[in-house]
Amino acid sequence: MHLTDAERAMRDGERGPAVARAMDLLIRYGEALGAERLIEVTNVAGTWSSTTPWVQAGLDRPDDFATIFSRFNLDSDETVEMPPAVVPTCQLIHGIDTRNWQLQGFTADQAALQRRSEAHFGRRGVQWMSTCTPYQVGNTPLKGEHCAWMESSAVVWINAVIGARSNVEGRESTGAAAITGRIPLFGLHIAENRRASHRVRVECPPETMMDWGLLGYAVGEMVMEEIPVLAGIAARPRPIFLKHFGAAAASSGGVEMYHIPGITAEAQSEAEALGGRAPAHDHVYSPAERRRAWENLQSASDDAVDFVMLGCPHNSAEQMIEIARLLDGRRISPNTRLWVHTPRQIRALCDDGGITAAIEAAGARVMSDSCPAINRALPPGTRVVATDSAKQAHYLPAIAGVQVWFGSLEHCIDAALTGRWRGGP
Amino acid sequence: METRERILIRGRCVVPGRAEAPAFVTRQTVSGWGGIDARTGTITERRHEKAGQSFAGKVLVFPGAKGSSGWSHYFHMTRRLGSAPAAMLFTVMTTKVALGAVVTRVPAMTDFDRDPFAVIADGDLVRVDADAGVVEVFKRG
**Domain-located, residue B17:** yes
CA gap A360, A23 in Å, rounded:
48
Question: What are the Cα distances from residue A423, in Å, to A339, A410, B112?
Answer: 19, 9, 47
% of chain A residues with pLDDT over 70: 100
Q: How confident is the model at residue A78 (pLDDT cuts 50, 70, 90)?
A: very high
By CB atoms closer than 10 A (0-12, 13-18, 19+), residue A107 is: exposed
**Domain-located, residue B114:** yes
Prior bond to A313 cis, omega within 30? yes
Q: How far is A293 from chain B (nearest CA, A)?
A: 13
DSSP code of A304? B
For the cut 90, the answer to whether the pLDDT of residue B112 exceeds it is yes
Q: State residue A118's pLDDT score.
A: 98
CA gap A228, A160 in Å, rounded:
11
Q: State residue B98's pLDDT score.
A: 97
For the cut 70, the answer to whether the pLDDT of residue B2 exceeds it is no
SS3 A305: coil
Mean pLDDT rounded to a whole number for chain B: 94
Domains of chain A: 5-189 (3.30.499.10), 195-296 (no CATH), 298-418 (3.30.499.10)
Cβ–Cβ contact A32 with B under 8 A: yes
For the cut 60, the answer to whether the pLDDT of residue A29 exceeds it is yes
CA gap A371, A363 in Å, rounded:
18
For residue A152, the chain B residues in CB contact (below 8 A) are: 67-69
CA gap A254, A120 in Å, rounded:
33
**Domain-located, residue B1:** no
For the cut 70, the answer to whether the pLDDT of residue B63 exceeds it is yes
Q: State residue A254's pLDDT score.
A: 86
Q: How far is A237 from chain B (nearest CA, A)?
A: 24
Structure confidence by residue, pLDDT tens digits, A86-107: 999 999 999 999 999 999 999 9
Q: How confident is the model at residue B4 (pLDDT cuts 50, 70, 90)?
A: confident
Domain count, chain B: 1
Residue B43 near residue B51 (C-beta atoms within 8 A): yes
Average pLDDT over residues B88-110: 97
CA gap B137, B129 in Å, rounded:
11
Q: State residue A253's pLDDT score.
A: 86
Cβ–Cβ contact A397 with B under 8 A: yes
Residue B29 near residue B66 (C-beta atoms within 8 A): yes
Name, in order, each residue with C-beta under 8 angstroms of A304's C-beta and a sequence gap of 6 or more. A335, A384, A419, A420, A421
Residue A260 near residue A185 (C-beta atoms within 8 A): no
Measured in whole angstroms, how far is the alpha carbon of residue A109 from the centre of its chain? Answer: 27
Q: Do B73 and A296 touch (CB under 8 A)?
A: no
Q: How far is B101 from chain A (nearest CA, A)?
A: 8
Q: Do A28 and B102 touch (CB under 8 A)?
A: yes
For residue A34, the chain B residues in CB contact (below 8 A) are: 12, 93, 111
Q: Do B69 and A150 touch (CB under 8 A)?
A: yes
Q: State residue B68's pLDDT score.
A: 82
For the cut 60, the answer to whether the pLDDT of residue A158 exceeds it is yes
Mean pLDDT rounded to a whole number for chain A: 97
Structure confidence by residue, pLDDT tens digits, A298-321: 999 999 999 999 999 999 999 999
Q: State residue A340's pLDDT score.
A: 98
Which residue in the set A32, A251, A254 is minimally distant from B98, CB to CB?
A32
% of chain A residues with pLDDT over 90: 97
Q: Do A172 and B99 touch (CB under 8 A)?
A: yes
B8 has which bridge partners? B136
- Give the domain CATH number at B95: 3.50.30.10
Average pLDDT over residues A222-227: 94
Which residue in the set B81, B103, B108 is minimally distant from A172, CB to CB?
B103
For the cut 90, the answer to whether the pLDDT of residue B140 exceeds it is no
For the cut 70, the answer to whether the pLDDT of residue A139 exceeds it is yes
Which residue in the set B29, B101, B103 is minimally distant from A254, CB to CB?
B29
Name, in order, each residue with C-beta under 8 angstroms of A103's C-beta and a sequence gap of 6 or more. A97, A365, A367, A379
From A13-17, A37-41, A51-55, the region with the lowest mean pLDDT: A51-55
Q: State residue B33's pLDDT score.
A: 85
Q: State residue A355's pLDDT score.
A: 98
**What single letter denotes the amino acid at residue B50?**
K
For residue B76, the chain A residues in CB contact (below 8 A) are: 72, 75, 171-172
Cβ–Cβ contact B106 with A under 8 A: no
Q: How confident is the model at residue B66 (pLDDT cuts 50, 70, 90)?
A: confident
From A15-24, A69-78, A237-246, B61-70, the region with the lowest mean pLDDT: B61-70
Q: Chain B residue closest to A252 (CA)?
A: B67
* Residue range of the domain that includes B123: 6-138
Q: State residue B3's pLDDT score.
A: 66
Average pLDDT over residues B7-23: 98
For the cut 90, the answer to whether the pLDDT of residue A398 exceeds it is no
Catalytic-residue membership of B68: yes
